[in-house]
């Protein structure tokens, strides 16, 4: 494997402070290697954008990085933690080392300035001694690169189509030839042909210039085609990461399987499309892994969303050999739930709460209700007599 370029270590990002904080990104460890295209997929609200904002220190309030490190291996200066750069160092770091194409690429351009001035001001900020002609020439070159006629330099953003604006942003991201380009769903407004064309060009450029790409999208099929590795995010965590081909053929996490099952394969046998039942858990819930199980498989997602959500289970790190990042889930959750609900008459689950299986009232806070992870661990106690 190539040497690491950015190492995200145990990154935590919260929205808000204290008890009410939403843990949008929890304990994410992810490495982007030199020259690699790393795909990041996951359901809407799983924290992909938050991760991108967090690692570049661009979080909008009330977002805060609650912990972790983002080590950037600078080819010239050696490794340093992006999260502890001073403001001046950070300003130099931005765009020159890591550029971003934001999800809202349509609104990423300042409506009152021409495209040209927005392409050149970043060059001037990082290289004040460059000549005006050189900057303009570079801007023209960038536009041509993303398939926009270079006379559009004098246009205002509102005169461009949504897809053109996205392409301008992609061009802008390459202005300073950064080592890392983060792209947060950069091509949502483009038609499929244009999307593939741009991505194809991006991959070629990467081979020529040698930058790495962190590519965020919902579109796993796109990732399988264009990326080297894929990480799957769910409920604020990386639940699985593996080489792209492997995720496709042999995904481990039920969510990845669900995601893959929800789009048609380009080649290979036909299969029935499946969605993921239920809606995603709030990222603040510690119990989210269990919910994955519930949603991914069983009748519980229809009948028993409440007990599912209230079930607490431990996550064991480690999985099959060679997949250290993978996470193992207690496989028996649906069975446990079934057993506990059915329970012997006149008895209750010893390590479960009494309210188990009931809908919580207004005052009943969601709390862990059972601490068992296998069927064998369930102990029964006789119910007290009234």
Partner 1 sequence: MSYLLRRIVFYVFTAWAAITINFFLPRLMPGDPVQALIAKEQGQLSTDAVHSLYVLFGLDKQQPLWQQYVDYWGQLLHGDLGLSFTFFPTPVSEVISSSLPWTLILVGVTTVCSFMLGTGLGVLAGWRRGSWVDLVLPVTTFISSVPYFWFGLIMIELLAGPNSFFPSSGGYDPGVVPGWDIDFIGSAVQHSLLPALTILISSMSGWILSMRNMMVTVSSEDYITVAHAKGLSDRRVMLSYAARNALLPNVSGFALSLGLIVGGTLLVEIVFSFPGVGFQLFQAVGAKDYPLMQGIFLIITLSVLAANFIADLAYLVLDPRTRKEG
Q: Which residues contact partner 1 by CB under 8 A? A: 56, 58, 60, 87, 90-96, 99-100, 102, 104, 107-113, 121-122, 125-126, 155-156, 158-159, 169, 172
Q: Which does 196 bind (CB under 5 to 8 A by kind): ligand ATP, partner 1, Mg ion, none?
A: none
Contact between 300 and 294 under an 8 Å Cβ cutoff? The reply is: yes
- Residue 128 beta carbon to ligand ATP: minimum distance, rounded to whole angstroms: 35
- Residue 256 in contact with ligand ATP, rule: CB under 6 A: no
Closest CB to ligand ATP among 49 and 373?
Answer: 49
Closest CB to partner 1 among 25 and 332?
Answer: 25
- Residue 182 beta carbon to partner 1: minimum distance, rounded to whole angstroms: 9
Question: Using CA atoms, how far apart are residues 248 and 259, in angstroms rounded to an integer?
Answer: 10
E strands along the chain, which residues? 4-15, 22-33, 37-42, 63-74, 78-81, 98-101, 180-184, 212-217, 229-234, 237-243, 316-317, 327-328, 347-349, 380-382
- Residue 47 beta carbon to ligand ATP: minimum distance, rounded to whole angstroms: 4
Question: Using CA atoms, how far apart are residues 238 and 28, in angstroms rounded to an integer?
Answer: 6
- Residue 56 in contact with Mg ion, rule: CB under 5 A: no
Question: Using CA atoms, how far apart are residues 157 and 170, in angstroms rounded to an integer?
Answer: 14
Q: Write out the binding residues for ligand ATP, residues 99-118 only, by CB under 6 A.
A: 103
Q: Which stretch binds ligand ATP (CB under 6 A): 26-34, 46-54, 169-177, 290-298?
A: 46-54
- Residue 345 beta carbon to ligand ATP: minimum distance, rounded to whole angstroms: 41
- Residue 178 in contact with ligand ATP, rule: CB under 6 A: no
Q: What is the DSSP letter of 352?
A: B
Closest CB to ligand ATP among 6 and 59?
Answer: 59
- Residue 145 in contact with ligand ATP, rule: CB under 6 A: no
Closest CB to Mg ion among 42 and 307?
Answer: 42
Tokens of 335: 């069975």
Q: What is the CA radius of gyration of the chain?
A: 24
Closest CB to partner 1 among 37 and 172?
Answer: 172
E strands along 34-62, which residues? 37-42
131 burial (CB, 10 Å; 0-12 / 13-18 / 19+) is exposed
- Residue 42 in contact with ligand ATP, rule: CB under 6 A: yes
Tokens of 318: 């480690």
Which of 11, 33, 47, 256 forms a contact with ligand ATP (CB under 6 A)? 47
Tokens of 126: 């990082």
- Residue 231 beta carbon to ligand ATP: minimum distance, rounded to whole angstroms: 12
Q: Write out the binding residues for Mg ion, residues 95-114 only, by CB under 5 A.
A: 103
Question: Using CA atoms, how far apart are residues 84 and 192, in angstroms rounded to an integer?
Answer: 40
Half-sphere exposure of residue 126: CA atoms within 13 angstroms, side-chain side: 20
Q: Which stretch binds Mg ion (CB under 5 A): 47-55, 73-81, 172-180, 285-293?
A: 47-55
Q: CA-CA-CA-CA torsion for 65, 285, 233, 329, nearest 10 degrees?
A: 130
Interface with ligand ATP by CB under 6 A: which residues? 15, 22, 24, 42, 44-50, 62, 103, 283
Interface with Mg ion by CB under 5 A: which residues? 49, 103
């Amino acid at each position: 494997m190539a040497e690491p370029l950015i190492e995200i270590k145990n990154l935590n990002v919260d929205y808000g402070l204290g008890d009410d904080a939403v843990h949008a990104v929890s304990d994410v460890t992810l490495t982007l290697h030199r020259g690699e295209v790393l795909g990041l997929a996951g359901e809407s609200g799983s924290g992909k954008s938050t991760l991108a904002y967090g690692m570049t220190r661009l979080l909008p309030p009330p977002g805060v990085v609650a912990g972790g490190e983002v080590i950037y291996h600078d080819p010239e200066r050696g490794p340093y933690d992006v999260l502890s750069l001073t403001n001046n160092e950070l300003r130099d770091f931005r765009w020159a080392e890591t550029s971003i194409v934001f999800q809202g690429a349509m609104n990423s351009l300042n409506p009152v300035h021409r495209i040209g001035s927005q392409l050149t001001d970043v060059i001037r900020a990082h290289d004040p001694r460059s000549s005006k002609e050189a900057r303009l020439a570079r801007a023209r070159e960038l536009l041509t690169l993303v398939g926009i006629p270079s006379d559009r330099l004098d246009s205002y953003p509102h005169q461009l189509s949504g897809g053109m604006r996205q392409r301008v942003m992609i061009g802008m991201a390459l202005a300073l030839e950064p080592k890392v380009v983060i792209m947060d769903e950069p091509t949502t407004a483009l038609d499929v042909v244009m999307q593939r064309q741009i991505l194809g060009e991006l991959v070629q450029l990467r081979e020529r210039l040698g930058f790495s790409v962190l590519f965020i999208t919902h579109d796993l099929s796109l990732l399988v085609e264009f990326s080297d590795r894929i990480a799957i995010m769910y409920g604020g965590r990386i639940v699985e990461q593996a080489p792209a081909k492997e995720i496709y053929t042999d995904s481990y996490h039920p969510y990845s399987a669900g995601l893959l099952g929800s789009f048609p394969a380009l080649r290979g046998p036909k299969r029935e499309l499946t969605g993921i039942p239920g809606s995603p858990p709030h990222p603040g819930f510690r119990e989210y892994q269990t919910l994955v199980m519930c949603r991914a498989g069983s009748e519980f997602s229809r009948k028993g969303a409440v007990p599912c959500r209230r079930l607490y289970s431990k996550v064991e790190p480690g999985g099959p050999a060679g997949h250290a990042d993978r996470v193992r889930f207690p496989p028996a959750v649906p069975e446990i739930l079934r057993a506990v609900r059915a329970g012997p008459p006149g008895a209750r689950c010893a390590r479960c709460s009494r309210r188990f299986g009931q809908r919580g009232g207004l005052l009943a806070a969601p709390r862990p209700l059972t601490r068992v992870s296998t069927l064998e661990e369930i102990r029964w106690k006789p119910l007290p007599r009234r």
